Structure formats: C-alpha cells, structure tokens
Structure 1
Amino acid sequence: MDKKRRNVIRSLAIAPALLASQQLIASGKTDQTPGARLQYSVNAYSFNSLLRSGEMTFFDLMEFAADIGLNAVDLTGYYFPSYPDTPPTSDLFLLKRKALELGLNISWTGVRNNFVNPDPALRVADRELIRNWLTVSSKLGASIMRIFDGKHSHDGFTRDEVKNWLVEEYKICAKYAEETGVILGLQNHNEFLLQSDEVIDILKRVESEWFGLILDIGSLNAGNTYDEIEKLAPYASYWFIKEHVSPKGIKTPVDMKKIATIIKNQGYQGYISFESLSEGDPKQIVSSMFTAFKEEYEKL
C-alpha cells in the first residue's frame, strides 16, 4: 500500500471522531467545561492516631489513596518526625518518588501556626516556621500549603487589632510563598475568623495571588453552614470535605448533594480533599465520603 493511500484511509478513520469532537465542543458537552477537572485527595489528619502511633506511615497513606482511586495525598507537617524542624531532603525525595510510582500527586502540606498572639516575637517565630515549610512543600512538589489564623487570648486588644496582625503576617508570608512557588492557603478553622465575611475581608486585604483559601466545610458553625460555604466558594483554592457540618453549632451529617451542587455551580476546577474526624475505621469513612461525593457530583 503506497503512502498516499495509507494517509487517505487514516483520514477517513479519524474523520468521525473529529466530527464527534467538534459537535461536543459546539454543544458545550465536553470534559473541558468548567468544573469538569476535579481531582481528589485525602488529608493525613484522617489517620491522626495511626500516624502518631507509628501504626501507619505516609507510604501506607499513599497506598490507600491509590487503591481507592484518589489522585493525591495531603501530607500534614505534624507527622514528619522532625516537626517543627524540617525533614532531610532525602526523606522528601523518597516520598516524592513513591508518589510517582503510584501515579499520585502530593498536592498539599500544612503546619500549625498561631498569629492570634499578642507577642510579636512568637508571631515572627511562626512566620519563620511557615517560610521553612514552604521550602519543604516546594521540594515535595506540593501546590499549596495550609496555615491557620490561630486561637489565643488577646485580652486588651480588639478584634480589629488582631485582624491587622493577621493581614500583616499573611502579606509577609505571601511573599515567601511567591519565592517558593507554593500558594499559601488559609484554612478557615473555626478559631478566630468564625464567619465567611471575616475570611473574605482578610483575603481581600492581603490581596495576593499567592495567598488563597482552603475551604473547610466543617468549620463554619455560625448561622446557616451551607450559606456560609456558598459565600466562600468563589474564593476557594482547595476544598476540605468532612463527614459533618455544624449549623449553629449542631453537629449534622453533611449533605453531599448540597456540597456537590455548590462546587458544580461555582465551576470549580481543582482538588477536593476528604478529611474524617469521626471515630471508626478512617479508611472506610474516607472511601464512603469519596464515593458519595462523586455519585452526587456526577448526577448534576
């Protein structure tokens, strides 16, 4: 068969596929539409007791994530033996290689900081902790690193003064984030910033493309949780889905349909991470949450 004839046959074979693709694009029914590129992860805190006791390692966590079809893992800093000091680079590269072998990303890391603290020296120390762990995150290939606002007695200082501390520290840390190429993500954690409007105000005042929001659906306990989640949804760089929400402080099983609808309507593209805080088998709980969310999302 000559080359010209082979090319004609090949063009005839692919023509129907090209036509179908063009029709899908024209109709808007394509996986490239907003919201279609969700990726799924699991937060290491789901296995808190197992990781702290040594019954489970990050390598075991990765195996679990791969087994149930997740795309990534969140490796919280607390579970590195060296924490709060940074681990050896060789240890980080072993984790990175394991993730590659399993077809996973290490999408996230996180530290515990407290900027709601009247002592400037302690805020500076936490700032340096963040700076050091941003470097760890970069070496691991993580896209985002979680930080908190904090929880501390601030007697003698108004809430507005504390918010000024937060903005000042976050602006400095956002510059560190830009230097390392890792986005810094504020997790709303029901500590000092209790309402969505307060979180949005801080995000706008920091005003950095290297400072984003890790939207924790389980930590919006003031008022109607789902309304609060919907307010924050446009600002989310990353999502934490938990098995419970607490509207007006009342612990209630999460309505996966409502969460999936908010995410779908927002056109969010990125990571959804599952985190279990309940007693019981965390593998089973995380697997069930993952399945339930996907089923509801795919119905929409």
Structure 2
Amino acid sequence: MDKKRRDILRSFALAPLLLSSNSLVSNSLFTNHILETKTTAKVKFSVNAYTFNEQLRSGEMNFYDMMEFASNLGLDAVDLTGYYFSTYPNIPEDKTLFQLKKKALELGLNITWTGVRNSFLTPNKTKRTKDIELIKNWLEVSSKLGASIMRVFPGFGKHKGATRDEVKDWMVADFKECAKYAEKKGVLLGMQHHNEFLYKADEVIDILKRVNSEWFGLILDVGSVRRGNPYEEIATLAPYANYWFLKELVYTNGVPEQVNMEKIAPILKANNYKGYISFESLTKGDPKEIVTRMFTDFKNAYGNI
C-alpha cells in the first residue's frame, strides 16, 4: 500500500475522533452563533402561512398558491403552519404531505417548518399531556415533509392557582419531553416567544438554558418583544436564534411602530446568522404587497452593511 493511500485511510479513521472532540466544544444548538467562525453568513428567506390567514381560511388561497407566490417573489422556502391543514389537529395523510413536498421541489423551495398551537401554561396536567401528544404527532408530520424545525409556544391563557415560577418549572419539564421526541425525529423544536407569558429576553433565555437540549431552540419573533426597547431585546436574543420572524411592526413599551430594517439587519450581521428569515404580515392590506415590501426593505438594508 503506497503512502498516499495510507494517509487517506488514516484521515478517515481519525474523522470520528475529530468530530467527537468538536462536539465537546458545544453541546447546544443555540450556542452556534456565539462561537467564532470564518464562514461568511448566508441567510435564506421564507414566508409564514399566517400571513395569508384570511385567504387560507376562506379558501381564496391554498398552500400551493402560497408556494407559487413564494417562488415568484424569489423566496427560498415556506412555513406550512399546522392549523391550515384541513385535518388539524389530526395529522394529514401521507399522500397530502408528499404532494406538498413534491410541489415545493418543483418550485425550487424548501418546506422549513410546521407549527402547532399548544399551551403549557395551564395547571391542568391532562390538557398539557394532550398538547405534548399534539406536538409529537406534528413532529412526525414535520419529519415527513422534510422540515428542519417545528414551532411551538410557551402558552396562552391563565394559570390560576400557580405562580409564574411554578409554571416555568412544568413548562421546562414538558419542553424537555418534547425535545427528546424531536431528537428521535430529527426535527428541531423551536419555541416562538409570543408575548403571552415570556415577555422579556432574559426570561426566554432562561427557559432555553433550563431545557438544555440540542433539539430545542428559539424562533426569534421581532414583533413579540413589547417591553422596553425592542431592538435591545432583539439584540439580546439574537445569539440564541435558530430562526427569525420579521414582521412589519415592533413595539416600544407596547406602542406599535413600523419595523426599521436598518436596525434589524446589523443585528443579524453582528451575530453572523446563517439560516432562515421568515416574513409574516399581521396588519391590514394586501399580504402579498406587504411581504414583498418587507423582503425588499430587508435585502436593501442587509446589502448596505
């Protein structure tokens, strides 16, 4: 055996050891953007189904129409939120999922995620267990669609009879159970802080750290930090973000104002974010025009840095 061939084989033999050594550096996905890297940041773009809430619920649009819009605009992906499937909360047939997957392929799109409407605020363990099962079922859907992330919420509603700390304790336990299942399915479970229980950046980060799973991450929603200076809160959350939601409004001490992409873009650049940015429109008007404008404004701001 010549020396060159021996060297090649030796490099293959050492590869698992090198990977094992690297894994010791970071055991959490949300530290990826904190570590220094020489890789140039590369962002891709998606649109969230809730943008077309009225159109999807009325039948004016369906997921295929949404995909056509995304492709024509030059986006890279779509977010297919679970509750716009006609079977929800039950999972769709494989045939339905695979047709969507095929359509995305034909249009050059990825399906980046699904999402459900769960709540881990309630003291009622039976209801929380039901939502854990909902999440597990839709992780199956995400895996079949080839989606890399599935959105969940901390929760909504009241937690009468329990303190905030008690809620956080069982919330962490519930997320840990879901994250273990997410690992089995190869889908990252992404928590979208939704201005319903976790209001400040430090609270969000505390939950992430306590769950402490490679398969539990953060969907940074710029429209759901509504106490204090939104751009400061966004900058605090940015190092932990696995996915970004850009909306047309941010809130300064609860008061809505138009998002300033020239303030958002530098935060992404500073954290060398590499991943998807999804646009979501919640205000009145033509959602296609709003998303198109947000997409253009962000690209201009990002490209000028």
The TM-score normalised by the length of structure 1 is: 0.89
Corresponding residue of 2:123: 118
State the Cα distance separating 1:34 from its structure 2 match: 4.1
Q: For the Cα contact (< 8 Å) 1:34–1:269, is it kept in 2? A: no
State yes or no: 1:257 paired with 2:262.
yes
* Cα displacement string for residues 24-83 of structure 1 (whole angstroms, at most 9, x for unaligned residues): xxxxxxxx9545310000000000000001110000000000000000000000100000
Candidates 71, 74, 77, aligned match of 2:76: 71
Corresponding residue of 2:145: 140
Q: Any gaps of 5 or more consecutive residues in structure 1?
A: 1-31
Runs of 4+ in 1 over 6 A off after TM superposition: none
Number of corresponding residues: 269
Corresponding residue of 1:58: 63
Equivalent position SS for 2:69: helix
Q: Any gaps of 5 or more consecutive residues in structure 2?
A: 1-36
Corresponding residue of 1:17: none
State yes or no: 1:194 paired with 2:199.
yes
State how far apart, in whole Å, the 2-side matches of 1:290 and 1:153 are. Answer: 36
State yes or no: 1:212 paired with 2:212.
no
Across the aligned residues of Structure 1 and Structure 2, the Cα RMSD in angstroms comes to: 0.9
Corresponding residue of 1:152: 157
State how far apart, in whole Å, the 1-side matches of 2:179 and 2:160 are. Answer: 28
> Sequence identity of aligned pairs in percent?
63
The TM-score normalised by the length of structure 2 is: 0.87
State yes or no: 1:104 paired with 2:109.
yes
State how far apart, in whole Å, the 1-side matches of 2:254 and 2:105 are. Answer: 41
Corresponding residue of 2:189: 184
Equivalent position SS for 1:40: strand
Equivalent position SS for 1:123: helix
Corresponding residue of 2:272: 267
Q: For the Cα contact (< 8 Å) 1:118–1:154, is it kept in 2? A: yes
State the Cα distance separating 1:155 from its structure 2 match: 1.8
Equivalent position SS for 1:191: coil
State how far apart, in whole Å, the 1-side matches of 2:98 and 2:38 are. Answer: 35
State the Cα distance separating 1:151 from its structure 2 match: 1.4
* Cα displacement string for residues 153-184 of structure 1 (whole angstroms, at most 9, x for unaligned residues): 11221100000011000000000100100000
State yes or no: 1:294 paired with 2:273.
no
State how far apart, in whole Å, the 2-side matches of 1:222 and 1:280 are. Answer: 26
State how far apart, in whole Å, the 2-side matches of 1:100 and 1:33 are. Answer: 31
Corresponding residue of 2:46: 41
Amino acid at match of 1:273: S
State the Cα distance separating 1:152 from its structure 2 match: 2.0
Candidates 80, 86, 96, aligned match of 1:91: 96
Larger Rg: 1
- The equivalences for 1:2-41 within 5 A come to 34=39, 36-41=41-46
State how far apart, in whole Å, the 2-side matches of 1:108 and 1:290 are. Answer: 19
State how far apart, in whole Å, the 2-side matches of 1:203 and 1:66 are. Answer: 33
Amino acid at match of 1:166: M
Corresponding residue of 1:175: 180
State how far apart, in whole Å, the 2-side matches of 1:160 and 1:272 are. Answer: 32
Equivalent position SS for 2:213: coil
Amino acid at match of 1:190: N
Amino acid at match of 2:55: L
Corresponding residue of 2:5: none
State how far apart, in whole Å, the 2-side matches of 1:53 and 1:43 are. Answer: 17
